[in-house]
Amino acid sequence: MRDKVKIAAVQMNPKITKNRENLEKILLETRTAAKNGADLIIFPECALTGLPILQSRRSHTEEFYEVTESSFDIAELRAELLDWEQTYNTVRPHQALEYFTPRQSFEQYQQKRREVMCH
């Protein structure tokens, strides 16, 4: 039994919707760390997808409550939340998505994926 574990912590800036590029970076860093004797390799949260999920969810929730004047009746809140989600996903640009809406970003991702699959 060994007394020590060698840990490699990888610093990288994953790119949103660039899963293949992110994966290539992860594999390169994994091979390098393994060659250097790492027993454990740590990557940033969402290293593959680049999506800061927890931050996004918190921001979405905080923003909803900032722009919503509600009696906090469940039925009323549900309707307001559905309206807000429509705006959040289709109207409001997001800095993390290069100032596209989530819908626009997803449509671009689908288009790029179709182009790659057709070639």
pLDDT of residue 14: 85
Q: What band does 8 get if pLDDT is binned at 50, 70 and 90?
A: very high
pLDDT tens-place string over residues 72-93: 788 888 888 888 888 887 888 8
CB 105 within 8 A of CB 17: yes
DSSP state of 100: B
Task: Find out whether 16 and 46 touch, Cβ atoms under 8 Å.
Answer: no
Q: What is the pLDDT of residue 60?
A: 65
Cβ-count burial of 26 within 10 angstroms (0-12 exposed, 13-18 middle, 19+ buried)?
middle
Measured distance CA(28)–CA(85) in Å, rounded:
38
Instruction: List pLDDT tens digits, range 14-70.
Output: 887 788 888 999 999 999 999 999 999 999 878 887 766 545 555 666 777 777 777
pTM of the model: 0.45
Are 33 and 5 in contact, with CB atoms under 8 Å apart?
no
Select the more confidently predicted residue: 111 or 54. 111
